[in-house]
Amino acid sequence: MEEYTKVEVASYVKQGIETGTMVPRQAEKFARIIARQGNVGETVVSWSVDSEGREIQEKVAQVQVDGQTNQPGWIATKVDENGNVIVDNNNHPNQWIIDDTTFKKKYEVDPENPSLCRPKGGPQIFVQIPDNIILNQWGADMQIAAGGYINITNADDMYGISQRDFEDTYKFTDDLEKKAPRI
C-alpha cells in the first residue's frame, strides 16, 4: 500500500510553487451533475484510485446543516453528457457532499436539461501535486494520490481533487502558466 503524508495545504502549495514542483494552471469546469438536498447525518463515501489504479476510500462525510443558510448540504453525483451516473471501475458512483452555500454559488439548473445542474463561475487556478497527500477538507481528511490537483483560486478555500475526477470535470483553458494567487 502506498504511503500518504498529511499536509497543511497552504504551506504545502506555497513550498511547491516556490520550488517549482507545482505550476499554477487555469482550468474551467464543464461537467454536469445531478444533485439533491441530503438528510442531516446521511453518509457519503467518495472513492478514487491511487497512482497504480487501486481503489482508495478518498473521503467519508456526512450531510450537515449549513451554518449560513440553515439548510442541509447537497449530495452531488457526476453524470456523463447523457445524464448517466458516472461509476468507476469498482462500480462506485462519483459522488460527494457539498454544503448549501457552496452548492448555490457553484451550480445552477441547466436550462437545456432541468434534471441536471451545470457549473457556474469562471476559470479557476490549479496546481498538480507530486505526492500522495492527506489534507483536511471541509472538516474531513481526504486522501489524494500523486497526480491529483489542488484548487488554489481562493487562498482561504483551497481544496483537492483526484486526477481522475479533475480530468472528468475540468479542462485547461490555455497552455500558459498563470500567476498564482498570494498564499
State residue 168's pLDDT score: 84
pTM to 2 decimal places? 0.73
pLDDT band for position 1 (cuts 50, 70, 90): low
List the chain domain ranges: 5-173
pLDDT at residue 26 tops 60: yes
The identity of residue 143, as a single letter, is Q
State residue 136's pLDDT score: 84
Angle at 64 between CA 155 and CA 43, to 5 degrees: 105
As a whole number of angstroms, the distance between CA 116 and CA 78 comes to 10
**DSSP reduced 3-state for 12:** helix
- φ, ψ of residue 122 to 5 degrees: the values are -120, -160
Q: Give percent of the chain with pLDDT exceeding 70.
A: 93
State residue 88's pLDDT score: 81
| Mean pLDDT value across residues 26-49 | 92
As a whole number of angstroms, the distance between CA 177 and CA 26 comes to 8
| Mean pLDDT value across residues 163-168 | 88
